[in-house]
Amino acid sequence: MAFHFFSNIFSIYLILISAFFITISAKFSEQFAQMEAMPSVNKMTHLHFYFHDIIGGKNPSVYYIFRGKNNVGTTAMIDDPLTEGTEHGSKIVGRAQGMYSFPTKTEPALLMVINFSFLEGIYNGSTISILGRNPVLQKVREMPIVGGTGMFRFSHGYALAKTAHFNPKNGDAVVEYDVYVMHF
């Protein structure tokens, strides 16, 4: 009798435990059929802006955290303004925050790990993330957009970068960006 009682308690215990784990795993991951989860229209957005890499002067936006021999491994953190026009005083539409680094000895190609965080209109607060190779001496460099937040959730796409101005004296550069992103 006592044994029966305990075995009943034990099976209730097992049922509760397994119910607990089933609930947990159901919360941990859920799958949706694509149709119900996402709006059916995929949008393509084109963004155009200028990226200001300010190295010289009193107020730089680039901070070198390591300078390697012959530039190999040279790494900088940046918080660069993104503007509507090419001039430094032009309206700010966002900031480029992240880092770049020179992994190569041969062609100067930056590894870019940068978030573009936008401040303008409906994109205020939204970000896109770039992770790519930027061979800075080439006329047009293409880099992948690997994701985004806010308006740019689920985004993927590419960026085309072209140097608009370069000051060889202090290294300041203005780079024109055309970004094409698909998102929902």
Q: Which is nearer to ligand NAG, 78 or 161 (CB)?
A: 78
- Our CB check for ligand NAG shows the closer of 97 and 163 to be 97
Q: Which residues of this chain interact with ligand NAG, rule CB under 6 A?
A: 97-98, 115, 119-120, 124-125, 127, 129, 149
Least distance to ligand NAG, CB of residue 152, Å = 10
Q: Is the distance from CB of 108 to CB of 137 less than 8 angstroms?
A: yes
- 78 vs 75: CA distance, rounded Å: 10
CA 29 to chain CA centroid, Å, is 24
Minimum distance between the CB of residue 146 and ligand NAG, rounded to whole angstroms?
A: 10
Question: Token pair of 153, please?
Answer: 């959730």
Q: In whole angstroms, how close is the CB of 15 to ligand NAG at the nearest point?
A: 41
Between 36 and 120, name the residue whose CB sits nearer to ligand NAG.
120
Closest CB 145 distance from ligand NAG, rounded Å: 12
The Cα–Cα gap between 125 and 9 comes to 54
Tokens of 168: 């060889």
Which residue's CB is nearer to ligand NAG, number 105 or number 153? Answer: 153
Taking alpha carbons only, the member of 90, 61, 184, 180 closest to residue 130 is 180
